[in-house]
Structure 1
Amino acid sequence: VATVVTIQARQKKLDLTIEIDQIESPVLGDAFRLKQVFYNLLGNAIKFTAAGTITFSTRILEQTATHIKTEFKISDTGKGIPKEEQEIIFNQFEQGGKNIHRQYGGAGLGLSIVKKIIEQQQGTIKVESEVGTGTTFIIIITFEKTEAPVVSPVQQIEPTTFAGHVWLVDDDPLILKLCSLILEKNNIAYTSLQSSLKMLEQKLNATDVVFLDIRMPGINGVDLCKQLRARVPELYIVALTAHLLPDERKFIVESGFNRILPKPFRENEFLDALHQIQSTTQQTEVNLSELEKMTHGDKALMNSIVEEFIEETHKNILQLEKRMLDKDAAGAREIIHQLAGRVGQFGARPLMKELQRIEQMLVAGTPLHTIRELPQVLQQVKQLQLELSKGIETSV
């Protein structure tokens, strides 16, 4: 977060001061959500400050054998917030004045989500501000100490063979630059735009991929997604957002996005969106090596298992198509769960992972009819059936 906002501050010729009271012991907390909060608050501080200094500081208030009470402060020397607006700034859909809304759009909504994230971690957030002097946001969270740090495994970045065109739409030039570096490194053709209006002027193909920032001035990402979807229904559209609560996830997916990529993101997370698109368009490969081992090379036994797979999968496909017509998400989830395990057993691992991803979307409450990649995945299951039936015919 500090690296990103340092560049942003430098672009506006602002001084950025970071004062850290080092926490010696490992603590339990949601590091990802806190990064989102700091990214949001520091980003807003830079946006609303024309000249002067942005300060980010942490301070240990209290410490016991089991807990550490910590204070985080984000201060700026911007225009400040009037007293009456400080009382509503954390309310959802309230904007900090019409001028702020016109210039930057959506800041109030962001702060309401920040407050929810902090409260979910049993913390508090308040604002102190004086018009013409600046604003300070104060966050206090008590963390539980732990014996050892939890280290996430390093994820390997898979090479991508994505051959389509990527569109990047974000009003933040730094985000565009970071995405551009990833795409250039992987030899992927792209176009980056800071204006949602300019995006509407572009000629798009069904194989294109669009990364859209949710909150932009003018036409926001949700409205832009709907307009692009109306023009090219097959587009794969990824939402870029620094806020990601369960209720917002559902709203974003229902608005027509195929996927959500939370900010800040890593290179492998960005490329994973393209890998997912590939998994719905690549030919399904069959690998029966595991099944051959289990049947000890008995061709007749293996063929009988394959025939049963084809028969049961055919039934599932008919059932799933009916559930899709009825918009029966619960029924569809059960069938998709069965299919995922079955196709995985027959060596179609990428297809299994895609079915599992769709199952998780349904578990999270995503409406069945909004999962636009499901028909493509279902077509891959049918293709797998066909490939297996050819294998039986060849061996007979």
Structure 2
Amino acid sequence: GDITRSQRYRVQLEEAKNFAETLLASREQFMAAITHDLRSPLTTVMGYTDLIQKTDLDEKQAYYLKQIKKSSEFILRLVNDLLDLSKLEAGKMLIEKLAFHPGKLIEDTVNNIIPAERTKNVTIEIVVAPEAQMQLVSDPFRIKQILANLISNAWKFTEEGSIVISANLVKPKKNKEILELRVKDSGIGISKEKQDSIFEEFSQEDNSIEKKFGGTGLGLAITKRLAHLLEGDIRVESEPGMGSEFIIEIPVEKYQLSGKKSSDQIIEKNYAASGLKALVVDDEPGQLSLTVELSRSMGFEIDTAANGKIALEKISQKDYDLILTDIQMPVLDGFELIKTIRGTDEIMHLPVIALSGRTDLEKQVYMDAGFDEKLLKPYKSATLKDTIAEVLDLEHKETVSSNVQGESTELQTGLYDLSEIYEFAGKDDDAFKEILRAFIEGTKESMVQLKSAWESRNEDELGKTAHRMLPMLRQMQAHTITPDLQKLEERKNINETEFVSLEVKLEQLINDIEAKIKA
């Protein structure tokens, strides 16, 4: 009888295990579905709230709208938190290894979280121990998320006094350096019996806190999981009425430049193009600026033109060594431009490279039209340099530079990644900001055209505008924005919700990048 009994148990265990697994999987799908489906109507609500806020309102209406906005923002926070939580639970959150500077990271987070016009009498202090003032390697984006949660809590629960955020490197455990971050506030504090449970989902000191301070009750659960994801830990020390201190410990590596394997070195080719003149033709300011800064870093003297007609006028007045041209432009496009150049004796031998965002034509079409070479936007800066060098047969010197990723941590967010653009700018901050300025100017202009084309249901205009905006957004890896624009470019329909959401995301991107330029 024992054998049959143990077999029965095994079957029951197996069933229970299967049930638990399906439950988990369906919970995960449920979370993903809900959070995903909540997002689009929510962005619509938020988009329209923004639009109504820009109209003439009396005081009462303005107040009502402000409440709607506050509630929508709260739901959005909840949705984002749920998404994070479901990703963390499913083990789908990826970890990067990037270099970052703790002090800079804390400063950025504080600037993002704490309102510029501080309404309370609370001082903010950042203390970075000397030994932590160096480049470290871990996932700066996740560390920022942890800090953001803790700092926004500290701000929420502190009416007066101070918030001190500190960073220190403590003695290594098992060979790894430990970065210790502390967020200490003089706020309401947490009772002893609650200190264990605050890191659990949906738990707060008591329900009245939720009402008084707002918050989803998921912040600390996510923070703890993120700390564990980074192989670290978090704990709290607190006295009710005396404030709280959260301590995070995260294993990090010191960023090393010396004695690196040669594979980490980048061979940079420096082309000698000084004294050569190039004309860059493009109707999108961001792309124009991108190509200009890159060619300038190679040593070219540069002129620009916004379409083929202006380009021809300039070519007739000056001897150029190279023309770089976009294809789809108003007035006179790239194909008409090359036709004229190749058909005019004095300039028929001019080297011309086509830079196009069009995916529907084979490269041969461009070569047959008379171009010397063709690149599909978006392209990498090195590719453009090599192409130019090949067409003009330029000499180059190879210099070995170590792969320093000092900047790149600050160049990435969930919305975009600007590291490629930084490369185009030759890692020069001023040139970088110049490109971003041009991008913003172009995008704002395009957004106005997009909106009016949308309102007059002008499919063709929508498609053209989307086509102009796409290369630059692809260059920035703005993956949340490009799919909808691509639909418009292909003359496919998107609905009102998607359009408003597209606008909201573009606004957010522009605001974010404007803040970067000011930084």
- Normalised by the length of structure 2, the TM-score is 0.32
> As a proportion of its length, which structure holds more helix?
2
- Normalised by the length of structure 1, the TM-score is 0.41
